[in-house]
Amino acid sequence: MLVYAGIDEAGYGPMLGPLCIGAATFILPDADPADGAPDLWSLLSEAVCRKVSDKKKRIAINDSKVLKGASGSKAHPCRHLERGVVSFLGGLEHAVPASDLGLFERVGVGLPEEPWYAGEQIPLPLDGTLEARRISASVLNRVLQKTGIQLGHIACETIHPHQINAAANRHERKSALNLAGALRLADGVRRRHPDTHPRVVIDRQGGRQSYREQLALAWPNATVRILGETPRISRYRLEFAEGPITISFEAESESANLPAALASMTAKLVRELHMMRLNRFFGVRVPELKPTAGYVQDGRRFMQDVDPVCRELSLNENELVRCV
């Protein structure tokens, strides 16, 4: 049996909105872990593909940066992200989430109490119909059953500006928060499958090549063995009393590992839904306010535009704007 998981983040660089870290796990009962990572795009090709322009209308699974559309397009820019994540969630529990709150609950995300995240739920799907999502989920589920592949779980962590700012005040790097979140998700995979040897692929954290020290600090009761450290892949085997886990940090992991691509899509969709709520909150208070994706240059413009609202409502900008 092979437990094969991917972990990736979205929203590392913006000044507004959360940093989100997604995880997706697949179980291949007949696979040998010694054979390496299988090509799930090929194994699930009757239901999934890499490109959005697919004549068979299969579900596109790829790096979120590839699938997210332009903000000025007629169709919703997150439609392909949402279709992929919602369809897989539907295949996992045989019911597709019909709102952002439903999706958040399914991936383990809770909305913080900040007022800009409050308000009515955002209906899903963002583009198309619930029936179309149910059909996609049904097709995916049939292919999973046919191949014997199981979808273990999809999860996401959110790290909000006030948490990033608090860490900065403690002289902790944002990269450390990101890595800690990824390792928590990896530990969740390990704990869900204690009697197996999970293989977890994590998108490489910047230019870092060595992770042994961080792994040893995260799991002091485990023995960490370096399997290889190259400019592209750093791989480690950790021995626990319950059993081993292999963790690989890979550059551009989403291009070679479908679980990492699905994790990337999950993280990006969760972030975008948070930003939709933030833009909605300020948009009803500032006439003709241009929405923001939260990146630094446009984020500064946005904060200037909403400054009167922040002052009027005594909003805490330390909870809204990242200092790093």
Q: How far apart are CA 30 and CA 28, in angstroms?
A: 6
Angle (CA) 41-45-49 rounded to 5° is: 65
> CA distances (Å), 282 to each of 52, 116, 119, 294, in order?
32, 7, 12, 13
Q: What is the pLDDT of residue 194?
A: 86
DSSP per-residue codes, 200-235: EEEE--TT----HHHHHHH-TTSEEEEEEE-SSEEE
Residues 6+ apart with CB under 8 A from 220: none
Pick the CATH number of 2-194+254-277 from 3.30.420, 2.40.160, 3.30.70, 3.40.50: 3.30.420
CB 4, CB 308: distance < 8 Å: no
End-to-end Cα spacing for the chain: 42
Q: What is the pLDDT of residue 71?
A: 73
Q: What is the pLDDT of residue 178?
A: 94
Paired tokens of 14: 């913006």
Nearest to 61 by CA among 168, 122, 151, 146: 151
**Per-domain residue ranges of the chain:** 2-194+254-277
Q: What is the pLDDT of residue 273?
A: 98
> CA distances (Å), 159 to each of 165, 265, 267, in order?
10, 17, 11
Q: How far apart are CA 46 and CA 59, in angstroms?
A: 9
Paired tokens of 43: 């194994």
Q: What is the pLDDT of residue 236?
A: 97
For the chain, the helix, strand and coil percentages under 3-state DSSP, each to the nearest 5: 45, 20, 35
pLDDT tens string for the chain (324 positions)? 899 999 999 999 999 999 999 999 999 998 877 777 889 999 999 999 999 888 899 999 999 989 887 776 777 899 999 999 999 999 877 789 999 999 999 999 999 999 999 999 999 999 989 999 999 999 999 999 999 999 999 999 999 999 999 999 988 889 999 999 999 999 999 999 988 999 999 998 777 889 999 999 999 999 999 999 998 999 999 999 989 999 999 998 988 999 999 999 999 999 999 999 999 999 999 999 999 999 999 999 999 999 999 999 999 999 999 997
Q: Which residue is listed with tokens 């909105």?
A: 17
Q: What is the pLDDT of residue 40?
A: 96
pTM: 0.96
Q: What is the pLDDT of residue 35?
A: 72
| Residue 150 bridge partners (DSSP) | 27
